[in-house]
Structure 1
Amino acid sequence: MMPIAMILGILLYRYVGVLGFITPYLIAVMLFFTYCNINVKDIRISSLHLWLVFIQVVGSISIYMILSPINAIVAQGIMICVLAPTATSAPVITGMLGGNIESLTAYSLLCNLMVILVSPIFFAAIGEVDSSSFIDSVWVIFQKVSLLLFLPFIFAILLQKLSPRIHREVRRMKSISFYLWSLALVIISGKTVQFIVDQKSPDYKVEISIALSAFIVCVGQFLVGRRLGRIYDNTVAGGQGLGQKNTILAIWMAQTYLNPISSLGPGAYVLWQNLVNSYQVWRKRKELN
């Protein structure tokens, strides 16, 4: 389904690109369905989670500082691939690989909170936010990001407390997230292509560099996450937590707060992480057989 959604976005970019304004709403609804399937009592923050968050923050800063003297757009595109939180679909892949779903879910909540706190500072410092001062930029971004990532969690908890019956019905409808994700992927793929086509003087060297660097960072994050997870007897959750990213959110952030071309980083990351996940699932099935 992922390749089909991306191909549709590429082919219909002139039509779907204008729908970019609904992307944050799609993300919020997807997160809401994800959070409705979380039991807050099962959430336990571990040392592994803290290490993974530390790697995300320090890693994203380090990569930007290393690459920005070479090319600022490449630096932005790869930085967002590290900073982006865990994908909403990561628990599904974690379960298929025999990993600890509860641990991955706990980390997903923690890294989303980290993004709410850290990303406004990052984007205000290096992004292209229309505001009168750095503090104003931080506040503007914080409001938008926190509403997008935190409100779905609050609504899910309130629904569970106030109307358990409706909450159970919503949990049964979790497959809707997949279709929303597909629609969002069509839109952001189209919008990314539109940015590329509308460039007055495209720099294909920069765009290819972003795509290739995203591959290196993708594989690196999966490997580092698995190595660290193995120390805490949580290999799969560590790998998926650090490597499998919410690329829909990352692309939207890049297109909104950074140079739009930098969204090619998480755009390429979509392909690379799905290749890694496909290989992992194939290898797991081979072991079981």
Structure 2
Amino acid sequence: MFRVDWHRLKGYAPLCFITLGIVLWRVTAPFAVILPWIISAMLFFAVLNMPLRAVAPRPKHLVLLALHLGLGGGLYFLLALWNPLIATSLFMCFLAPAATAAGAMTSLMEGDTGFATGYTILTHGLICFLAPFLLPLLDDHSQLPFWTLSGQIALLVARMVILPITLAWLVRYLMKRRGRTPGPHRTLTYWLWLSSLIFILGKAVAFVSEEGGGNPLLLVASFGVGFLACALQFTLGPPLSRWIGVEEVACRQAMGQKNTALTLWLCISFMHPLVAPGIAGYIAWQNFFLTYYMNRYLRQSTRS
């Protein structure tokens, strides 16, 4: 009798949601206003079952972060010799914080969830401090004064990152006072992430079709650096994990799986239109990589 392997089909779910987002972009793009709430909810549930000590930065987190940003910064300065906008698009792919779903995906592939989640918190904290100052310096096309633009970015990041983390730890504290411990919500976080793909891709396609068509060569180059950044971060994860001394799956997911929704929102809201396609491309490319690694894990687990 024919049986559907739902566990295996789950690995292809991101591609299905990506396709829906691209094909139905005219329908989904107007509803992208809910993206900040989806991102905040993902972060809330990802942090809810993590005590402070489990996600506190460790020396290995800081070593990985320094290597990570050093590589992105070096590539930025090289590419800026050709085109600063394309260089900025690539650097934003490296600056993007680790995805809130990175811990859940690491857990699904039996990696070190604590390390991946800790890196997620660290990189979200980093963008909270860096984005208000760095984005206006990277993009000089804004008509707003530096401090006005920095303040707007700081408010957006605080609402999307700091607020859900604070609420999650407050809820956790109140539950512990009542003798209860919140359980993991990996499945809910995973489906929130999948649903966000529809709106992210819809908004990205709409954005590019409306504002990114002025220079086709630069548009293609921006998409291309999204692939370059994605391939580098996913493929460098395993060798760096061995060099630093951390678990391979956690390092790969922490480096490669990005909170592209937050970064794309920042690019669309505050930067030149040609910066955003690199992040939009990264969204698609990272989910091809995720689908590949998930199915590779499922094949290996089936054999064993």
Specify the TM-score bucket, using the shorter chain as the normaliser: 0.7 to 0.9
The 3-state SS of whatever aligns with 2:275 is helix
The question of whether the paired residues in 1 share the 8 Å contact of 2:212 and 2:273 is answered with no
Percent of matched pairs sharing the same residue: 26
1:182, distance to aligned residue in structure 2 (A)? 3.0
53, 60, 74: which one pairs with 2:72? 60
Whole-angstrom CA distance in 2 between matches of 1:167 and 1:264: 48
225, 230, 237: which one pairs with 2:242? 230
193, 201, 218: which one pairs with 1:206? 218
Residue range with higher mean Cα deviation, 195-204 or 28-37: 195-204
Q: Does residue 131 in structure 1 map to residue 152 in structure 2?
A: no
Whole-angstrom CA distance in 1 between matches of 2:234 and 2:180: 33
Matching residue of 2:255: 242
Whole-angstrom CA distance in 2 between matches of 1:182 and 1:233: 28
Unaligned runs of 5+ in 2: 1-12
The 3-state SS of whatever aligns with 2:98 is coil
Whole-angstrom CA distance in 2 between matches of 1:27 and 1:195: 19
1:83, distance to aligned residue in structure 2 (A)? 0.5
266, 275, 283: which one pairs with 2:296? 283
Count matched residues: 288
Q: Does residue 9 in structure 1 map to residue 21 in structure 2?
A: yes
1:21, distance to aligned residue in structure 2 (A)? 2.5
Matching residue of 1:40: 52
Q: Does residue 195 in structure 1 map to residue 225 in structure 2?
A: no
1:86, distance to aligned residue in structure 2 (A)? 0.8
273, 284, 287: which one pairs with 1:260? 273
Relative distance call for 1:46 and 1:226 in structure 2 (3 A) is farther
Matching residue of 1:270: 283
98, 101, 121: which one pairs with 1:109? 121
The question of whether the paired residues in 1 share the 8 Å contact of 2:47 and 2:168 is answered with yes
Unaligned runs of 5+ in 1: none
1:112, distance to aligned residue in structure 2 (A)? 0.9
Q: Kindly report the root-mean-square deviation, in angstroms, between the aligned alpha carbons of the 2 structures.
A: 2.6
The 3-state SS of whatever aligns with 2:150 is helix
1:125, distance to aligned residue in structure 2 (A)? 0.8
Matching residue of 1:176: 188
Normalised to the residue count of structure 2, the TM-score between the two structures is 0.84
